[in-house]
Amino acid sequence: MGEPVYRLLGVTRVYGARKVLDIASLDVYAGEILGIVGPSGAGKSTLLRLLGFLETPTSGAMAFRGQRVNGGAPSLAVRRRVTMVFQRPVLLSDSVYANVAYGLRVRGVTDARERVEKVLDLLGMLPLRKEDASTLSGGEAQRVALARALVVEPEVLLLDEPTANLDPAHVAIIENVIRQARERTGMTIVLVTHNVFQARRLADRVALLVGGRLVEVAPTKTFFESPSAPETCAFISGEMVY
């Protein structure tokens, strides 16, 4: 699979006296959708925030495209190749259009209009482009959050529970756009979800995180049909693991 986009070795993240993440080894490959599942409090979001350069590992080595990045935030140019969609998006009190254009504006892109409208159309939000973002429903806000991330065409897209608490119609729209985005641009996607069915629908590989440790990382088919770890069996069968 060639040079991984991310390579993590012995990466830990400690808050106070609590070690929330302890990853012995994890590679993320270019163009794949890696699903990360696990019970709440397993460290899924923390792992995603490390990959998004929003936090730095307490110890261990993390490389992005072969370049070590665990010594603090990388350069702006590197940082801008990775974008994250948060579980609870916070939008600017401005129009939908302005929200989606933000990432392009900070990059000094002048002819943003066509790109913004294309992404809005993809997510079925074009008719609402002039609406104030504060008037949107939760599902609409989440679509705007995905749109503002996709519009900058990142090399890596990090998704933290992008469809949590949304109704099935919104979930279908968002999952379709995620699939299309990968097919069209070949971007690498890391998807954190508590929903094993979503991981099964979208991911090429799935990782189970329990108590900050990776229990199993396997291709989706293997993960669901012949998992090797007993925790994985318990988790996918709906029994919670702690």
Residues that bind other proteins (CB under 8 A): 52, 54, 76, 79-80, 82-84, 86, 88-90, 92-93, 102-103, 106-107, 148-149, 152
CA distance 233 to 48: 24
Centre a 10 Å sphere on the Cβ of residue 50 and count the other Cβ atoms it contains: 25
Least Å from the CB of residue 112 to other proteins: 13
Q: State how far Cα 81 lies from the chain centre.
A: 13
Least Å from the CB of residue 153 to other proteins: 11
Would you list the DSSP string of 148-163? HHHTT--SEEEEESTT
142 CB-near residues (< 8 Å, 6+ apart):
89, 162, 163, 166, 170, 174
Least Å from the CB of residue 93 to other proteins: 6
Main-chain phi, psi angles of 227, to 5 degrees: -65, 150
Nearer to other proteins, 88 or 221 (CB): 88
CA distance 204 to 1: 13
Nearer to other proteins, 107 or 113 (CB): 107
Nearer to other proteins, 149 or 215 (CB): 149
Least Å from the CB of residue 1 to other proteins: 26
Nearer to other proteins, 81 or 205 (CB): 81
Closest by CA to 116, choosing from 133, 130, 104, is 104
CA distance 138 to 129: 16
Nearer to other proteins, 40 or 93 (CB): 93
Nearer to other proteins, 4 or 103 (CB): 103
Least Å from the CB of residue 54 to other proteins: 6
Least Å from the CB of residue 200 to other proteins: 27
